[in-house]
Structure 1
Amino acid sequence: MHARYAILSHTWLQKKPEVVYEDAKNPQKWHSIQSGRRSAYRKLEGFCKIARDKHGVSFAWMDTICINKDSTSELEESIRSMYRWYKNSYVCIVYLSHTTSLADMHLDRWFTRGWTLQELLAPSKLKFYNKTWKDLTALLNEKASPPSPNIKSDQMDILQIIHKATGIEPKQLLSFEPGVDQGIASRMIWAAKRSTTRGEDRAYSLMGVFNVSFSIAYGEGTDRAFFRLLEAILSSFNNPLDILNWAGTPCS
């Protein structure tokens, strides 16, 4: 039996350092982190408190602090396992750092980033929080399927907001399965609206969505990484023309 864990979906701070793996190995740093990296520490602290107090779990996973990015092998394993980790989580806690309420939720930067697409699609239990860690709805799970009759209106509100921000229909979100059998074009369109800090991540972040796997090679460039993604998709799909049935932005 595996332990239940919460997993965080968030966007990295802009122009401010996060709390990272090396910090976790050095407890003596924590006092200086609390004062010197206040935004990062508050995000970590807020996540852990929500995971424990609201969702009753004793284990929490956050990419910034749980992946040793100085280890090439660990980074590659993490990237190729990320979809599965989000899917297997007890709850995915989504921290929307630019959101105040449902009224401005669709404008949050979280909906524009490449890695957060699989973090939206993979978990079966998803819960959104605003920039001060307040619940955006009374729901315990904003991806519950079918919706509870008593709170159906709340869920439909948030599903429509997600649709407005991403183009993903509520039915597509609630019934999503990784792979290519449900069609490639729509998923490519979802991804085309998003960006990543490193160009290659536009391809790497989609491996779980299409249920394909290939080696990570930072430095190969955006075009080469995307070509290898398409190659992996084509090798597992019997309708290659579908991959051309979408309009995205050029890789470079």
Structure 2
Amino acid sequence: MRLLNALTKQFEEFYDKVPRYAILSHTWGPDELTFKRMEQKGYVPSKKIDGCCEQALKDGLNFVWVDTCCIDKSSSAELSEAINSMWDWYYRAAECYAYLSDVPPDNKAEEANSKFSQSRWFTRGWTLQELIAPRKVIFYDEAWDRIGRKSDFDDDWEFTQRLSKITGIDDLVLSQRSLFRDYSVAQRMSWASNRTTTRLEDCAYSLLGLFEINMPLLYGEGNRAFQRLQEEILRASDDESLFAWGYGKLLRRGSDPPTTP
């Protein structure tokens, strides 16, 4: 696993014993700091990554994982391994920070039509697993001010219920008081129904962790990716609620930058 040292901003590779780390959940912008760019120019100051590193250090964590720069997307093998491992990486993170760059400071998250509830983060296909997999997720606004936390702690229950109302996901799943795998295939598919991905194949690939599926990635296969996902789910489960979901009812392509993984 490739991690970014929060202090030195240098990459470090770990194979067996991975240190405690923070992980970032976010939506991609037009000028992200990628692995290739860092290889060529070194670390370039980034409000998003700088804020993530600063918060990690405050939380006593020396390493962070950020998908924009910690995956070499020019390597199809590395990209495939990363996407198939991503659920586990988010689950095992000591902290998960959800950075909502389109939410201004002092926004009232509890209001029905708040910038928080309308954030693009809630519409992305990839952020679904980033919301469910971690034991806790701390949300931050554009200025890296804390908005609230998803967890199983009683103090966070009201905020977790707010997230449930926004996403349509059972608050017991979000708090991990109930296991996501105890919900039917159709129910889990419904959680993704209003989310978007840039690439057609990512409609399926972003759901691998949610259905505990590991399969090779074949960008360029189009709708076949979802068909392969269905086939893998059927091999692992006899839940026929899957047939209630065709490709068109799942995710739709959005307008995110084409560099998203």
Q: Give TM-score scaled by structure 2 length.
A: 0.81
In 2: Cα distance, 1:108 partner to 1:66 partner: 25
Match of 1:143 among 140, 150, 155: 150
Counterpart AA for 2:97: I
In 2: Cα distance, 1:251 partner to 1:122 partner: 19
Shift of 1:126: 1.2
2:38 counterpart of 1:24:
yes
Q: Which runs of 5+ in 2 are unaligned?
A: 1-16, 253-261
2:165 counterpart of 1:160:
no
Count, aligned residues: 227
Shift of 1:136: 0.9
In 2: Cα distance, 1:251 partner to 1:95 partner: 22
Q: Deviations over 1:157-177 (max 9, x none)?
A: 322321222101211222354
In 2: Cα distance, 1:251 partner to 1:56 partner: 37
Q: Which residue of 2 aligns with 1:224?
A: 224
Q: Which runs of 5+ in 1 are unaligned?
A: 35-40
Residues 7 and 89 in structure 1, CA contact (< 8 A), matched pair in contact too: yes
Q: Give TM-score scaled by structure 1 length.
A: 0.84
In 2: Cα distance, 1:244 partner to 1:67 partner: 34
In 2: Cα distance, 1:251 partner to 1:227 partner: 13
2:139 counterpart of 1:128:
yes
Match of 1:70 among 29, 52, 74: 74
Counterpart AA for 1:237: S
Q: Deviations over 1:23-49 (max 9, x none)?
A: 3224x554xx44xxxxxx111111111
Counterpart AA for 2:133: A
Root-mean-square deviation over aligned CA pairs: 1.9
2:94 counterpart of 1:90:
yes
Residues 202 and 226 in structure 1, CA contact (< 8 A), matched pair in contact too: yes
What is the aligned-residue identity percentage? Answer: 41
Q: Which residue of 2 aligns with 1:42?
A: 47
Tell me the secondary structure at the aligned position of residue 23 of structure 2. Answer: strand
**Structure ranking higher in helix proportion:** 1
Of the structure 1 ranges 160-169 and 223-232, higher mean CA displacement relative to structure 2 is found in 160-169
Q: Which residue of 2 aligns with 1:239?
A: 239
Q: Deviations over 1:105-161 (max 9, x none)?
A: 111000000000000010112111011100113xxxx2332x23xxx3xx2332232
**Structure ranking higher in strand proportion:** 2
